[in-house]
Amino acid sequence: MREFIEMQLETQKAKLEQAEQATVNYKSKEKTVSIDLQTKSQIDAASGIKAEIIKLESQRQGVLAQKAQVESYLAAPNAQGDPFYASRLNMLEQMNNQLSNIEAQKKGSLRKPFHYEQQAFHASPGRSHLYRHQRDEKVTGDLYTDLLSNTMSWK
């Protein structure tokens, strides 16, 4: 799990740098500096939801990796003779429940951003492009910060 999060940290750092650069490039090209307060609050709401979805997907990947490991133990020859066989079966059931919960949460979260996206994109074309760039920058920044705080807690 730790290796997975550390790998995600590096990936997210690269995405953050790209998103920041895209925002700077767009602002420079369009000669614009900022967006209004309402659009800023829409960015915050949409980025929070998107960050939640990405976190849920990371959790799902972690549970899937753990599940594969437990399944390999259970499929091993003489696995039923192992004193931990029953506890591993229980772990497998818990992981399946976790996966179901994560999928349900993801489904619920996937419906939320549409409202914010529609409001932002009904704005002028320039504002909607800036909205996209700043939303992406905020999402990747929030995720990078969360991943970084998780890795710091291990040290």
- Tens digits of residue pLDDT in 78-120: 888 889 899 999 999 999 999 999 999 988 877 765 555 555 5
- At residue 136, φ and ψ (nearest 5 deg) are -60, -40
Among 9-23, 34-48, 59-73, whose mean pLDDT is lowest? 34-48
What confidence score (pLDDT) does residue 154 get? Answer: 57
Residue 119 is predicted with a pLDDT of 55
Please tell me the predicted confidence (pLDDT) of residue 3: 72
Express each pLDDT in 119-155 by its tens digit: 555 555 556 677 677 778 887 888 778 777 777 665 5
Cβ-based neighbour number of residue 148 at 10 Å: 14
pLDDT at residue number 52:
83
Report pLDDT digits (tens) over 27-59: 778 776 565 555 666 667 777 787 788 788 888
pLDDT on residue 17: 87
Confidence class of residue 72 from pLDDT cuts 50, 70 and 90? Answer: very high
Rounded to whole angstroms, how far apart are CA atoms 8 and 62? 11
Per the CB < 8 A criterion, the answer to whether 151 and 5 are in contact is yes
Share of the chain above pLDDT 70, in %: 74
pTM, two decimal places? 0.56
Predicted confidence at residue 90, as pLDDT, reads 95
Residue with tokens 């800036």: 130
Write the burial class of residue 29 (CB in 10 Å: 0-12 exposed, 13-18 middle, 19+ buried): exposed
